[in-house]
């Protein structure tokens, strides 16, 4: 995660969406000024992807936390329509999670509490 801070310090725009339960472990990164939005639903936000400079996407089972010991996979795509689809998904999620009372469930249903 310190890599995100380094990238931000180089002037790169970095934004993250995480599960609300991960908030405590992200404090050092949040302190660096990286904007976060959190899923506060009862469901696990299980999207794991990174859009890099609108030129590549990584996706797969890989957990970005350290030391999980799992067997993981990562796919890297440089295909334009794949990148655009992930960018659109991220922007949709970024907007949806902008409300503090919003919960986003696995069926992409808007749930307000």
What's the pLDDT tens digit per position in 66-91?
656 778 899 999 999 999 999 999 99
Residue 4, pLDDT above cutoff 60? yes
Nearest-10 Cα torsion for 22, 12, 68, 98: 30
Write down the catalytic residue from 53, 87, 101, 108.
Answer: 53
Catalytic residue among 8, 39, 42, 46: 46
48 noted as active-site residue: yes
43-58 per-position pLDDT tens digit: 777 888 999 999 999 9
Q: In the structure, what pLDDT confidence band is assigned to residue 112 with cuts at 50, 70 and 90?
A: very low
The dihedrals phi and psi of 41, each to the nearest 5 degrees, come to: -80, 175
Q: What is the mean pLDDT of residues 100-109?
A: 50
3-state secondary structure at position 16? strand
Half-sphere exposure of 15 (CA within 13 A, CB side): 14
Is the model's pLDDT at 103 over the cut of 60? no
Q: In 1-113, where do the E strands start and end?
A: 16-19, 36-39, 49-52, 56-60, 74-77, 102-104, 110-112
Residue 98 per-residue DSSP state: T
Q: Is 46 among the catalytic positions?
A: yes
**Catalytic residue check, 8:** no
Residue 99: is its pLDDT beyond 70?
A: no
């Amino acid at each position: 995660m310190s890599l995100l801070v380094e990238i931000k310090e180089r002037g790169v725009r970095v934004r993250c969406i995480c599960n609300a339960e991960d908030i405590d472990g992200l404090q050092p990164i949040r302190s660096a000024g990286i904007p976060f939005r959190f899923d506060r639903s009862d469901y696990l936000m299980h999207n794991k992807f990174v859009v890099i400079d609108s030129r590549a996407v990584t996706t797969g089972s890989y957990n970005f936390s350290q030391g999980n010991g799992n067997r993981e996979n990562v796919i890297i795509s440089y295909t334009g329509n794949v990148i655009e689809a992930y960018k659109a998904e991220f922007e949709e999620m970024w907007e949806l999670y902008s409300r503090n009372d919003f919960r986003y469930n696995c069926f992409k249903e808007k749930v307000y509490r």
